[in-house]
Amino acid sequence: MKELSKKIRLLRHQKSWSQEDVAKRLKISIPAFSKIETGITDVNVSRLEEIAGIFDMSLVQLLTFTDSEDQEKHNSDLEELSIKLHEREIELIEMQKKIIELYEELRKVKA
């Protein structure tokens, strides 16, 4: 629930809306909305659909929404891991070559 609350707060800030603005659109009190935004109050599906609607999103979009900074960090982390994986694959190939060379030397010695 905390993650969803953060998403709602982020969306509100992106629209430059106050808690009062959103509360009026939802036809609830400011303290009631504040509790939603801080994660104190669990929100039912119909309320989530209303919240998604005021941000011109579907419920699925609201639930899967990510901050662009979070997405950029995720992409950066993924790219870094991909590079490390590629480096390990190169190391593995080099080790396999050495094993083959050692095996060939051993075979020559026995022959």
- Predicted confidence at residue 51, as pLDDT, reads 96
Residue of higher predicted confidence among 57 and 71:
57
For residue 44, what are the CA distances in angstroms to 19, 59, 61, 95, 107? Answer: 19, 12, 16, 56, 72
| Sequence-separated (6 or more) residues with CB below 8 Å from residue 38 | 5
More confident residue, 8 or 69: 8
pLDDT at 78: 82
From residue 75, alpha-carbon distances to 4, 62, 68, 103 in Å are: 21, 20, 10, 42
Instruction: Report the pLDDT value the prediction gives residue 67, as an integer from 0 to 100.
Output: 64
What is the reported pTM? 0.59
What's the pLDDT score for residue 77? 78
